[in-house]
Structures are given as structure tokens and as C-alpha cells.
Chain A
């Protein structure tokens, strides 16, 4: 009976150059139904404690979401996971695009990659078959050239290529993976793990039909048509299509939470040059889509009149390379973003590390002798572009910064650690918890380090009459709560929003698909899972799946030695913002810590150790994981 999955995991041992297929049954999949849940399970099963994340004993897994590949807008995501070289803990990052759906149509839910190849190789997967191929001629090539070369030598223009560029080859600790040149598993350094295995790329071609795997293909197809039609009729999805994430710049700046000059400030005097209106005028050439998605939130851009092959900057890159580096030049932002695409670097960690280096320079902790004479100051476009390139190639100061801001601060010494805006070693995205405290919970508690997609943001539930609040209501959130309210009610709402967001990462919906962020109602999300699988699941069941995935990832971190002291925030967030609408506002430390304690209790975790209790793990059907801690 079809239940939405192929039941197959491709196993690739690069040391032995062997390929096998593991099969699982429906009972197993109900417990770990793809994406983050299956990835966390596989990491716990495959990786021994305390292995070197850049050594052959680390394991890289690529896992499709439960409905990835369904003909539903935003059902495109797959998870890349491994022990993170940036944090030393659970590493994970989701990407959209086309690669995940292609893998599904080739017959696999996941690929597990172990060991290390002696020479550079790539993996070629076609319709249930896989081969390891020589990639010595591709190593050192930029993604655009490597993708063309792979498609040419395999004789198929429709092949989807997931790969690394220089950042991954050079094991930059925040290197990304890219598919179709424009879609990134950006966070936690999965590109460095792939590079450490001498694996350049995974090329995939599948000719299967998703609907043959679905329990109720008719219902799924009908829902797909309904959603495609609704995109323009719903203000949030329409807005994502119209402006994409660059549309966030103006509002966040007005709210005083547009990170500026390494999070010292919340409003940027040069914001008019970074706004959507300017993007549209200066950069935009077209809108693009992920697989089967009618939202089309991706941007195509021209830089200095030349079409970029690596897609346009998202909000995170505009904030990161713009205001947070003190730069009011969208062309420069687009160039830095393109360097990240070309060299497969995470735009968030890269830009935040550049801002860190700029602040170190301005405080005399880095000198001109370290920068080859470059004035590495906030606002210096050439300095920013210079450092991004140096990081990708691990040259000079770039070699130190390629270690991430936390490690770099330890080497630099002095006050440098105060300027490293990171949690567990991973740099902060461009959202300031001083204006939305739930984002502070996310940054502190996320198993991957600072992460902005762990839960839907406070603003979603701030206005009782808003589209977003109404969209979140079925989760059981009955009262609107101001974004800066730190209360027991906020903690309870956060836990629900976290479980719901985690569920999205399991089933493969993009953050911009389901309510409250966008246009797919919570009921429809449940219906999609039911139609794909035939399982009689409720919303409560789905929230439990999301919670199970988070708990498995937390167990991984506990096994690696993480504890409550790691669930913290940079000191700067407990100090007042220097300007903007929230000038003078800081996160209150004692209240924040108290709220975190309450959050552990709500989650069924011991507030002293931050460990999930055996009782909670048992309730989630994973009591076995308690024995790993």
C-alpha cells in the first residue's frame, strides 16, 4: 500500500567505494517520517560520539521530507545533516530547489555517506542505480562550470546537481551545499563535511512519478491546484511572490530590529539604498521558482549589468552584507552574495564573520599587517568583498575567519569574544531578539546554534486581527502576545510554534508554505500528510512528530557534551540597542533566563541539565534515545 515514501535509503561508503541500498518499512517511517526526524535518527545511529566532524568518521545524510516532490507549492525541501564542524554538535540545514524532488523520483528517501574518498569523486544517481565517478577534473571548478561539465559528460541536461565550490573544498567551517546554483543548505557547515569526504557533487536524475507513491494521488493533486490558485489571492504568498524576502528590509528597520554594525544598532541610516524599491530598480531581472511551487519567491539579478548565475540576495544577505557591515550599496551586497554562491559559503555566517572582523579591526584587535593593508572598517565595500574571497580560499586573515567567529575570537583574544555574535559557534541570522524575544529562545535553544527558522516569530502572533494570528489559531494559540513580552504565555506559545516549524522540516514544507507565515492553512497541511500517507493523523500527531525530531537532535548534542550553559545568547543582546525605534532596549537577562527555565519544563526537559527526560522521550516513542545520553 502506497504511503508516500519509496522505502529506500542509498548508502555510500566512500572509503570502500561501495554502494548498498537499505530498505525500511512503513512502521519505521511513521516514527521518523523524513527530513529532520529521519536525519536526526540516522545521525544518532551512524555517528559515534566525539568524532572529528571533518574526519572520515563523520556521516553526511541527505534526507527528503515526507511530501517533498508532491505537486504542492512549497513542498520542495530536503535536509542535509552531519556533525557540524562549526558547532561540534548536531548540524542540519534545509534547502529547496529541485534536487530533493529529483532524488525522490529517482527512488530514494535519503542518502547516507560514510568514509572518505582517496581522490575527489562525485556520485551519480539515476533511477534506483548509483555509481561513484572520478571528479579530479571537477575539483577546483566553480559550481556553474562543474554543473555544466557533469550534465555534459552524463549526457542529460535535466540532471540536478548538489555540490560544493571552493568553500567546501577548503573546508571553511560554514561552507554550504548548493543545488541548481541558487538553492543552498547554508547553515552549520555541511559543505565542509562534504569537502572533507572528497565528494564534489551528487548528480541525480529520476523519471518516476510522485503520485505513484501517494496514498491518495487525486486528493493531493486537487490540493495542489487549490494552492496554486490561492497564491495570488492570499496577501502573504502574494507578497512573497511580489517582493520576496527583500521586502522585509523596510519594516524591520522601522521596527528598530534591522541588525546594523554587528548588532550594535537596530536601524540603518542607509536603509533607503537597501530597500525593495531599490532592489527592484537596481538588481531584479526575473522571479524564479522551486520545484512545483507557484509562489516564485526567488529573485534573479543583474550585477553591474551582468546576469548572475547564482541568484539574488535574500533578506538575510541584504541585512548581513548591508546594514550589519554598515554598507548601503545593493550592488556590493549582490556581489558579496554572489561570491557566497560561487564559493558555496553560508551568507549568514560569512557576513556575520565579516562584521565581527570589522569590529575587531576598529578596536585594534586586527591590524593592517593582518589585512594586507586593507582598512577593514564598517562601510568599506572593497574590504568586505576582499575578506569574503579570502575566507573562501582560506588565504591570510581569511584562513582564521574561515574557522567561524567563535574560534577566530579565541585566537585573537582580548575583547574579541564580545564581538562574536554567535551561539554554540554558529553566527546569528539578521533578526534581533531584543524586538522579538521568541527569536531569542530560538537562538539559544536550537540544537544547531543561532537559527531563525526554529519557530515562527513572535510577530506572527502579535496582532489579534492579523492574517498570521488567525492562521496560527488552530495550534491552540488563543491570545495575541506582544513581540517583547517575556511571559509564561509566550513560552507556551513558543513551544507550539517550535513544534510546528520542526514539523515543516520533517515533512519538507518550506517555511513560507504553511500558516502562520504563509498561505497553506494548518488544516490543509494535515490533509496533505494524510493524502500522501493514508495515515489517520491529527494536528496533535504532527506536532508530536515535530517535537520528536527536535528531541532526537537535542540528544545528539547532549551525547556530544552540550548542556544548559550552551543554550545562551551573546552578551550584546542583553545590552541596549544604540538607535532606532527600540533605542535603549535590551533583553532583560534574569527574565530571559527564567523564561528559558520555564521553556525546558514545558518541553519536558530537565531545566538544570537541559536534557530531555526519559519520560518525555518515552511519550514521544523514542525512549531508546535516553540510553544514549
Chain B
């Protein structure tokens, strides 16, 4: 999957990458994935999966998905 850490969220990535490519062998809860990446879910205000706004808490993502995450000041929330 392709993951975009928008706004200041890529600060949490050790390599400060705005885009990450993460191979997934099976679907995974996005919150769990963020835990592995050490991106605090509390900083995420907007979650976009394949162009659609979704709830971060409910989102499950699969290989091939395009996921964008934005913090409050760099976007907003619904």
C-alpha cells in the first residue's frame, strides 16, 4: 500500500518520508499499522482511503490501497 503522511505527520517517521510504500500480505487495521510506524493516531484528523474520507478507528487497509493521513492544522476533520 501507499501511505501519505501529510502535514507534520511525516515528522514522526524516522526518515521524514511523506510517502511510504508498505507491502501488506493481509488486510490490517490502520490504527495498528500507525502504531508500528510510531505515528500517534491522536495527531491524525483526516483519513482518506482510495480518495474517500473514512474513520481512522474503523479503517482496514490492504495491499494496493492508497491512504492519505492529515493532521488538524493541515486539513481539518469532518
Contacts and interface: CB of A to CB of B under 8 A. Distances in A.
Nearest to A518: B73
Interface in A221-252: 235-236, 238-239, 242, 247-248, 250-252
B78 interface: yes
Task: Pick the most buried of B41, B44, B45, B75: most chain A CB atoms within 10 A of its CB.
Answer: B75
Interface string B4-37: 1011111110001010000000000000000000
A468 interface: yes
Interface stretch (A27-35, A95-103, A406-414, A456-464): A456-464
A593 B12 CA distance: 41
Contact of B18 (A277, A459, A464, A483): A277
Interface in B24-78: 40-46, 48, 53, 68, 70-78
Interface residues of B, number: 29
Contacts of B75: 248, 250-252, 254-255, 459
Nearest to A233: B11
Given A465-B40, A483-B77, A247 B72 contact: no
A484 B78 CA distance: 8
Interface string A589-620: 00000000000000000000000000000000
Interface string A270-288: 0000001100000000000
Interface string A341-368: 0000000000000000000000000000
Nearest to B45: A463
Given A250-B68, A581-B78, A255 B8 contact: no
Given A242-B16, A254-B48, A463-B45, A468 B53 contact: no
Interface size class of A (residues with CB under 8 A): 35 or more
Best-surrounded residue of B16, B44, B74 (most CB of chain A within 10 A): B74
B73 to A, nearest CB: 6
A186 B78 CA distance: 31
A471 B54 CA distance: 27
Given A242-B16, A462-B77, A483-B76, A251 B8 contact: no
A77 interface: no
Contact of A466 (B6, B16, B18, B45): B45
A482 interface: yes
A462 B72 contact: yes
Contacts of A238: 8, 11
A257 B78 CA distance: 11
Nearest to B71: A466
A460 B74 contact: no
Contact of A459 (B4, B9, B76): B76
Contacts of B76: 251-252, 255, 257, 435-436, 458-459, 462, 483
B70 A460 contact: no
Given A235-B12, A581-B53, A254 B68 contact: yes
A250 B6 CA distance: 7
Contact of A235 (B11, B18, B45, B46): B11
A248 B45 CA distance: 13
Nearest to B44: A463
Contacts of A435: 76
A252 B76 CA distance: 7
A625 interface: no
B71 A251 contact: yes
Contacts of A457: 73
A390 B70 CA distance: 39
A240 B54 CA distance: 27
Contacts of A482: 77-78
Contacts of B68: 250, 254
Contacts of B53: 254, 581
A467 interface: yes
Contacts of B73: 236, 457, 459-460, 468, 517
A482 B72 CA distance: 10
A468 to B, nearest CB: 6
Given A466-B42, A581-B53, A248 B74 contact: yes
Interface of B: 4, 6-12, 16, 18, 40-46, 48, 53, 68, 70-78
12 contacts: A235-B8, A247-B7, A248-B7, A250-B4, A250-B70, A251-B71, A254-B75, A255-B76, A255-B77, A459-B73, A465-B41, A582-B78
Given A247-B7, A251-B75, A254-B75, 13 more contacts: A235-B43, A236-B73, A250-B68, A255-B76, A277-B18, A459-B72, A460-B73, A463-B42, A465-B43, A467-B8, A468-B72, A581-B53, A582-B78
